[in-house]
Structure 1
């Protein structure tokens, strides 16, 4: 079922539609907020606020004018920028190691390596200028298309391409000296 249809069902009182749409879009909203803010608690707050705004505007949603996910990404980005602008962020904090499945998952060494890579990427992302970080997160982590990103960031596709290219170069330079440390030996 499409996101538009789920929003319409929720607007008509179907709570199951809200659960389905939250399960579908909530993790993506959180992921974007986490990458932009670098703080789990702040990211959770931003993602929850974005979902609440989606539910509040559901009765007024006009299918076909925009994708629900694009609208939600834009709201998440605005909330993140507002939080940064108004100093609601306690400061850049490295990500904790992402917990892996306990059963057939990787061992402790692999989990530590993955955590170090995640932390290194997050630290490098936080050094990027804000617009570059947004573009890189949406393109290379969330895997959105350049036209989708242009709509979310309200810029041209060419500007998205420029921001992501500069961001990738900066990230590559920041992480280049850490390849061996992060387990990317070429030998």
Structure 2
């Protein structure tokens, strides 16, 4: 979807057009759900994603700038609000996706190695600080650019670059540590 199409959908959604609202939700719901699955327990992800879109609909007339940045900023606020309300410590439960790989690969050894690597990566991401985990999720899983990540995380682009460097260095160290422990 290009910028002109997105602007048209936003204008239609602000005017209350059901088709535009449906198209926006269809386009962004899976992305927000995926983001939520990396930020909260799997059983909460759908509920919190729905809450994000309730807030989007209530506040759509106040949106300006990049829509994806605004949307994911709301998603992060929903996560923070949930954690505050629950009184829980910041934690993330990473979902493994072994079933997808088992059906796609022909060689069981390759499947096992792929699944193990994915699990190792998800566990390593789970060991990052909350800010580093959020950056990795937004930038590398959701594919957002530095400007959008900067807006979502309310940090300067320079601070995002530094955080990215530190997050990737930490991931590298965590994954190298796993190789040393398992002798791979």
**Alpha carbons 1:128, 1:167 under 8 Å: kept:** yes
Secondary structure at the residue paired with 1:155?
A: coil
Conserved 8 A contact 1:125-1:133: yes
Deviations 1:124-159 (A, max 9, x none): 222211112111221222222112111111111111
Structure 1 residue 81 displacement after superposition: 2.1
1:25 is the counterpart of 2:23: no
In 1, the alpha carbon distance for the partners of 2:156 and 2:73 equals 15
Q: 2:143 maps to which residue?
A: 143
Q: Quick check: 1:71 aligned with 2:70?
A: yes
- Structure number with the higher helix fraction is 2
Q: How many Å separate the matches in 2 of 1:36 and 1:93? A: 7
After TM superposition, the structure 1 stretch with the greater mean CA deviation from structure 2, 129-138 or 118-127, is 118-127
What's the offset of the Cα at 1:180? 9.0
Mark the CA change 1:44 to 1:118 in structure 2 (over 3 Å): closer, same or farther: farther
Find 1:49's aligned residue among 48, 51, 55. Answer: 51
| 1:120 to 1:45, Cα distance in 2 relative to 1, 3 A | farther
Report the CA distance shift for 1:97/1:136 in structure 2 as closer, same or farther (over 3 A). closer
User: In 2, are the aligned partners of 1:50 and 1:75 still within 8 Å (CA)?
Assistant: yes
Q: Which residue of 1 aligns with 2:9?
A: 6
Deviation at 1:178, TM superposition (A): 3.3
Asked if residue 86 in structure 1 is aligned to residue 85 in structure 2, the reply is: yes
**CA shift at 1:8, angstroms?**
2.3
**Distance across 2 between alignment mates of 1:139 and 1:70:** 11
Structure 1 length-normalised TM? 0.79
Q: Where in structure 2 are the equivalents of 1:128-139 lying within 5 Å?
A: 128-139=128-139
CA 1:170–1:86: 2 relative to 1, 3 Å: farther
Gaps of 5+ in 2: none
Deviation at 1:170, TM superposition (A): 0.9
* TM-score normalised by length of structure 2: 0.80
Does the CA contact (< 8 Å) of 1:36 and 1:126 recur in 2? Answer: no
Aligned residues: 178
Contact map agreement 2:101 2:115 (CA 8 A) in 1: no
